[in-house]
Structure 1
Amino acid sequence: MAEASRVRAWRPDVPGIDEVFHARFVDHAYPPHTHATWTLLVVDDGAVRYDLDRAEHGAVSSAVTLLPPGVAHDGRSATVGGFRKRVLYLDDAALPAGLVGRAVDRPAVVDDVLRGAVDRLHRVLDRPGDELAARSGLALVTDRLVAHLHRGGPDAEAVRDPRTAGALRDLLDAHVVDGLTLDAAAAVLHVTPTHLVKAFAAEFGLPPHRYLVGRRVDLARRLLLAGLPAARVAAEAGFHDQAHLTRHFRRLLGVTPGRYVRSARPSRATRPAGPARRW
């Protein structure tokens, strides 16, 4: 008896992404069909054979596959054991319509940086509370896709705009707890979200959402050492919940908030007095 198919699908609260779809198929074959969205596909196990506009192609784990809206395609496993894939269905406006023909001609993009960015975006979308990370990740993915399709490869030079990057840092510092959406920041600074992400990364060496998480972890450390319980610290430091705090705290510091507090030395005000020192 063939192994049953397994699927997960949801609609994230992220403009530009219509649906996230994760699936494991063994013997399922897609008939010819079209989507109204861009289909951004990565294969994590096995391989997929498909016809796109009557031309045969393959999707493998080393590549990112982009299928344009309105173009017929099918799909079936290229290996006996089936395949496991993750798909982002992007709004048709997420990429320029003029790139449809280029995507038909070259649907597979081999780019380790892009592959890693798509993987991280899926991980962010799989958990709540990281809207800025999701928007930043999507901006980087779509910008790199456009570079491949429109210009033949990713941009060689980073965006240098120290003034805008500094202004975004000031905005993030002013909204550590309540957060800031990428669209709101872009509207205040009169630039595109993609420009914001690239300028910030070029100036400070990390994307804006990671900077914000670092500031929140710094605040959480101070609150924990002040004696506040972790659940309250999570809320007051801007995290979605205690699990969200713990995940980022452990990623940055290597320990959980609980272990961090237990490792702390008592302050001078609370440390019990010892015997007088002799000189």
Structure 2
Amino acid sequence: MSTANWIDLARDADSGVETLRAHFKGHAYDPHWHDAFLVGITEQGVQRFNCRRTRYDSTPGQIFLLEPGEIHDGDAPHADGFTYQTLYLEPAWLQQGLAGLFEQAPAGCLPSFAHTQQADPALARAIAFAFSALHKRELRIVRQMALDGLLDGLTRHLHWRQRTEQDPRLPQAALRAREFIHAHAEQDIGLDDLARACGVDRYRLTRAFKASFGLPPHAYLVQLRLARARRLLGQGAPAAQVAMALGFADQSHLGRWFARAYGLSPGQYQRQLHKPSSLGKGNRAG
């Protein structure tokens, strides 16, 4: 990471919500996804990112809302860069919290964000308050009140989508390939393995997969491993052990991919989670 860039993150012990504040100049992140809901605001500059096949320019005060698995990237189109703050909400925690706000949530449905980018000053204030309360480790009652306010604000932008095992709009070959990748993510699988499992040739499979999920199969496999690596690292597993368990060649291989996706090394990620936190600039990474 350039010395002009910095990341400051923490995790709330009670809710499991991660808070991240960062500043980037130039290229920030390669395309990647998270297995959490992302709720954040841009503080300064212009944050440019692609998501849902759309390019967004997020300016100060604007909110961005991403669902688990949504591929996105990040760049600073202007020389002064951009600063933003984000909360990573675990799906189980979000669903549990929403259950207290909806007397009857639709059966068999999952919460979903209607739009990726929003201008909602009240929600922006709720995000900033929740971020500050969690990141600065305020009193428990303050953190809980802030998160309740965040959930209440999010209800204006949520809708419910049917929980399905497969999306009927996507080609069956692509869906089978994704299932195969998830089932064999730690193994050294090849395109020929995928093609045999799906009953189509590797070239048609690659085209169908990228059209369906926004990444070719090899890139999807890497991102799946990285999402699992982030969770294991957050639980305190050593980076070398995580790399071996998830099929990376070695710890440095994991580190290179992790930094491209998340902007910091596995070791920096773990150290940030366990250090005293503040709203000031985070540790600079060179």
Task: Tell me: higher relative CO, structure 1 or 2? Use CA pairs within 8 A at least 6 residues apart.
Answer: 2
Greater CA radius of gyration, 1 or 2? 1
Q: Tell me the TM-score normalised to structure 1 length.
A: 0.48
